[in-house]
Chains A and B, each alone.
Chain A
Amino acid sequence: MSYLEFRNVQASYGTNPILLGVDLDIEKGEIVSLIGPSGSGKSTMLRVLIGLTPLSGGEIRLEGKPIDYATKAGLRAVRSRMAMVFQSFGLFDHLTVEQNLLLAPTVVGKKKRAPLLEEMHEVLRLTDMQGHDGKRPPQLSGGQKQRIAIARALMLHPEILLMDEPTSALDPIRIAAMSDLFGKLAAQGVTIIQVSHNMDVVRSLSDRIVLMHDGRIAATASPKRDQDDNAAIARFMAAEAHQA
């Protein structure tokens, strides 16, 4: 039994099928990178896992138990163990950075604000965003917003961290810093599933690379072991790196 199991997972947008039966096992503390062409179903994998897109078939198991997406209680339970960093960040423009970061811990987690402030400053330090807590998202650059989105996810202490293009707006120095941070989180047992087109990040960070194509898994590889042995993944990564 794996920590997280996708079993024949299917999903569609309206009548348009996106995932056509995905089987994938992920272990606790593993960093899995989903790669593949646009429309291959990478982001949908994250969305079905956190319950934003409904399953049209199959099931997902967490620690051996099927996740109940059909009830509010089931959704609440699964979301309490996960956090998601959106490609478009998903920050709330009318709230300050501090309010964005403390919203879920105070409103959902019912924690006191004062003790959270220290933790928030630590998370802002980790994401190199200290001193920005009074600003609102429209006052931040794309890269800064992305780091705040990551910081907001960290404030939730997720067991599973889902990230859709988490480094797309970052410069190379910040990409390296964030990759280092993700590696440390995984070492602490946080399972990370990311969608990325940055092949350097994918290669250096991932325990496993999953290549998706037309709603199915086309190939998997462990870059630290056998990436070069998988021709399909090597070809895709080379093509992506060439485009970049």
Chain B
Amino acid sequence: MGHGLHYQRVLQALPYLLGGAGESVMLALMAFLMALVLGLGLAIARMESSSGLRPAASGFVIFFTNTPQLSQIFAMFYCLPMAGINLSPFVSVLLGMTLNASAYLSNILVAGIGQTPRIYHEAADTLGLNLRQKYMRIIVPHVLRIMYPALNNHFVIMLLGTSMASIFGVEELTGRAYYLASVTFRSFEVLSITAVLYVAMSFLASRLLMSLRRLV
């Protein structure tokens, strides 16, 4: 093949890369949704003065926002088996990403809860809603609306962050790109196509999420 750019062989492997892109999206989506639920629990624990879980929730957030995400995933991958918990590479990365993202999402949700008008809390209280009903029916829908752009941005960050999974042998987009580059010896072509796929994924995810905003 000689010198110069040769995309033909890489393009022939495009379905293989697209499969990896699908894996990346699935990993990001699953981690995001689980992190959203966990992050919401953390946010409520931090915001409600009656919660005895406040110090634990705050400590969790401080730890996971002040240590490298890669280290956290390494901990899932190497440390949990020492405790007899053996997880697949995909699940290890999923768990690591979820815990890390939940800390950041809880910060976003705490900011949103803080911006919720006090009258919402008071009206819900006087109507007799308990804490769970108040958050599920009133506060969370309001927070999701006002913090939607920030949550959307974080999803895109997580989507791009799935490339870390390649280090652990997960065959997501970057993992497959590295493999393809090693067998075709066309690193630039493979990585440039991969970059285009990442841009397309991020753009489409962002547009799709913004179009779904009206449903929130």
Contacts and interface: CB of A to CB of B under 8 A. Distances in A.
Interface stretch (A11-19, A24-32, A82-90): A82-90
Contact of A79 (B119, B120, B125, B137): B125
Interface in B85-125: 119-120, 122-123, 125
Given A90-B119, A92-B120, A107-B133, A82 B127 contact: no
Contacts of A84: 123, 126
B145 interface: yes
A52 B137 contact: no
B137 A107 contact: yes
Contacts of B123: 84, 86, 90-92
A104 interface: yes
Given A86-B119, A107-B133, A50 B126 contact: yes
Given A86-B119, A94-B141, A94-B145, A104 B127 contact: yes
Contacts of B125: 51-52, 79
B128 interface: yes
Contact of B142 (A90, A94, A152, A156): A94
Given A52-B125, A84-B126, A104-B128, A90 B133 contact: no
A83 B133 contact: no
Given A76-B128, A104-B127, A108-B128, A52 B133 contact: no
A80 interface: yes
Given A94-B141, A94-B145, A103 B126 contact: no
Contacts of A86: 119, 122-123
By DSSP majority rule, is chain B's interface helix, strand, loop, or mixed?
helix
Interface residues of A, number: 24
B138 A52 contact: no
B141 to A, nearest CB: 5
Contact of B128 (A80, A93, A94): A80
A206 B14 CA distance: 79
Which of A86, A92, A104 has the most chain B CB atoms closer than 10 A to its own CB?
Answer: A92
B205 to A, nearest CB: 24
Contacts of B122: 52, 86, 90
B138 to A, nearest CB: 6
Interface residues of B, number: 16
B135 to A, nearest CB: 12
Contacts of B137: 103, 107
B204 interface: no
Contacts of A156: 127
Contacts of A79: 125-128
A72 B131 CA distance: 11
Interface string A49-79: 0111000000000000000000010001001
Nearest to A79: B128
A103 B130 CA distance: 12
Contacts of A50: 126
Interface of A: 50-52, 72, 76, 79-80, 82-84, 86, 88-94, 103-104, 107-108, 152, 156
Interface of B: 119-120, 122-123, 125-130, 133, 137-138, 141-142, 145
17 contacts: A50-B126, A51-B125, A72-B130, A76-B130, A79-B126, A79-B128, A80-B128, A83-B126, A89-B119, A90-B119, A90-B122, A92-B138, A103-B129, A104-B129, A107-B133, A107-B137, A156-B127
